[in-house]
Amino acid sequence: MYEKANQEKLDFIQKGLKDYSSQRNYDFGPESRENISTLSKYISHRIINEYDLIREILSEYNLQKVDKFIQEVFWRVYWKGWLEHRPEVWRDFIASSPNHSEEDYKKAIIGETGIECFDDWVKELKTENYLHNHARMWFASIWIFTLNLPWELGARFFMKHLFDGDAASNTLSWRWVAGIQTQGKNYLARESNIRKFTNNRYVNTSLNENALPLENYKVYSPQEIRYLHTVQKYKNLVLFDSDLNVNGRQSFFKNYENIFLVLLDNKKRNVELDDKVLKFKKTLQEAFTNKISNSQIIDEDTFMKLNEEFDVVYPSIGENLDFLNREFKNFKKLHFIGLKEDIFCWQYSKKGFFNFKKNIPEVVNYLLHEDVLFN
């Protein structure tokens, strides 16, 4: 799997990256993805580390020539940091149980709304476990403003089926479309835009193009993030599916007697995942154990029975951290290790992306000159 991910990455850098800026918004369909990277399923599990990807690209290209793709990678970094500063946003999303039409909801999730593009995207999502980023925006807008369904249910639907499902990127992107992430500014899918950027695959689509943003008067003030260590403390290490990077970490991993990889089943999750998604995550973990000899996959119950102290590669806000919060309430046995790159970048994630964006040159300089964590 690591070899496959690396080859796809190299193919995109060599063939697709130069035209990415002008072609990235076009969704030509699942059979034609040469204009985008489709690396997100690897990046979200750090089979490909996003910072290593940026370093590799900038070793071949000037930042100005690839700034659009670099910004897209940094959006994921930014969303994670923003949510780290406001964990209550995730907790509120998980606790939500919005009123809705059950009939309309069922039609939406089986792709029988009568809106051709939307219904096709439902089928594509379930079949491919992926959607083009532009299609995700259109999909969310139609779900919220044309079908009048709660954004929370749409976010759960995406998380259930996407191979690259990520608590921060997914939740906050749906909030952004709804107009509650940037208060008063929603994203409206338009027939002309869909027609143009699907290369006329979908025409005469009737949508609500005049909807007002949703209202949410709750203000989430940024708070200081959890303190993360950068050095080993205990003899055992725990990893979740959110960070399976092996690049440059071999010597770090050798310091541990045992490395435990934990994959939560649906009984331990707030958002149920499709069986294909769980299988994909398991396959990635198996690939990790093939690379790292002192590692093994264990289930949650086995993990809970281990009377040990653990270093934990910090999994970020989401399902895995929720699990640890429930089962290790005082964290006395856990020593969280964070990436220096995350810690550095998240300091610029307290406000909007524009603030982060203006600091990208400083972030890039840091990435190119600072020693990384796992040496």
pTM for the structure as a whole: 0.96
Q: Yes or no: say if 252 and 114 are a contact pair by the CB < 8 Å rule.
A: no
Q: What number is the average pLDDT over the span 62-91?
A: 97
pLDDT at 263 over 70: yes
pLDDT at 174 over 60: yes
Kindly list the domain boundaries of the chain, sorted by start residue.
Answer: 2-84+344-369, 87-197, 236-337
Q: What number is the average pLDDT over the span 308-318?
A: 95
Judge whether 2-84+344-369 and 87-197 match in fold: no
Question: 327: pLDDT confidence band, cut at 50, 70 and 90?
Answer: confident
pLDDT > 90 in the chain, percent = 93
What does the mean pLDDT of the chain come to?
95
Q: What number is the average pLDDT over the span 106-132?
A: 98
Statement: 236-337 belongs to CATH 3.40.50: yes
Task: Name the H helices within the chain.
Answer: 2-11, 20-23, 40-43, 50-58, 67-85, 87-95, 102-109, 116-128, 133-141, 151-161, 167-178, 191-197, 250-254, 275-291, 300-305, 319-327, 340-346, 353-358, 360-369
CA distances from 66 to 17, 19, 21, 57, 70 (A): 7, 9, 8, 8, 6
- Which pLDDT tens digit goes with each residue over 290-311? 999 999 999 999 998 888 899 9
Statement: 2-84+344-369 belongs to CATH 1.25.40: yes
CATH code, 87-197: 1.10.579.10
pLDDT at 370 over 80: no
- Which pLDDT tens digit goes with each residue over 22-49? 999 999 999 999 999 999 999 999 999 9
pLDDT at 111 over 60: yes
pLDDT > 70 in the chain, percent = 98
pLDDT at 331 over 90: no
Nearest of 228, 233, 237 to residue 257 by alpha carbon: 237
**What pLDDT, on the 0 to 100 scale, is given for residue 23?**
96
**What pLDDT, on the 0 to 100 scale, is given for residue 330?**
62
pLDDT at 6 over 70: yes
- The span from the CA of 326 to the CA of 71, in Å, is 35
pLDDT at 107 over 50: yes
Question: 375: pLDDT confidence band, cut at 50, 70 and 90?
Answer: very low
pLDDT at 329 over 80: no
CA distances from 272 to 266, 268, 301 (A): 5, 9, 18
Q: What number is the average pLDDT over the span 98-119?
A: 97
